[in-house]
Amino acid sequence: MLELMHKGGPIMWFIFAASFLGVEVFLAKLYDLHRAQIRSSDFLKGIYNILNRHNIVEAVSICEETPGPVASIVRAAILCHDEERPVIAQAIEEAGLAEVPRLERNLTVLATLAQITPMLGLLGTVLGMIRVLLVIEQKAPLVHAGDVLGGLWQALLTAAAGLAVAIPAYAGYNFLVSRVEAIVLDMERAAVDILAYLTGPTRRPGA
């Protein structure tokens, strides 16, 4: 491994650092999204059971103890349970707007790595070919294969390394985006459900 890094030249170390960063960001974000995604239907059923007993404090406490944006949206709605529908809807919208950027945080890092690592590989390839041409120019007309192998190794290794990092980074980015979209969909469904519950004619807590 170290021999390949050495043959690839200094660009290889930048690509290696990018791969390490990509793995770290992906795993951290995957863990965050795993914690953020809950069974919203089961969670809402539990909240409704508590609200049916007119226990607002307990419902808010459970929302605060439950991780994820769905719980935050439900909490915001419950805190305004005695307000009119537009006020509750506004509170839900504001809570959702605050949660979405948290879900999307650091996703741009993976997208950026997927874009720049092939360019780093291309830069390494160009530098390797320049190295080959310099050797040919200096040693022409008696150029041996060993004289140009260093530049060829650098050109090929950096190109391969750049693609090897970019492909999983792009795939990981798309996977995380799909998880975020699923959570946002859960948020929207929970927002509609809790709003309908709190503003319904017969199920509003305290009514």
| Per-residue confidence (pLDDT) for residue 204, from 0 to 100 | 52
| Per-residue confidence (pLDDT) for residue 205, from 0 to 100 | 53
| Per-residue confidence (pLDDT) for residue 53, from 0 to 100 | 87
Closest CA to 123 of 94, 174, 157, 93: 157
Tens digit of pLDDT per residue, the chain (207 long)? Answer: 677 777 778 899 999 999 999 999 999 999 999 988 888 889 999 999 998 888 889 999 999 999 889 999 999 999 988 888 899 999 999 999 999 899 999 999 999 999 999 999 999 999 999 988 888 878 777 767 776 788 888 899 999 999 999 999 999 999 999 999 999 999 999 999 999 888 876 555 554
- Dihedral (CA of 196, 199, 205, 207) sign: negative
* AA identity, residue 74: V
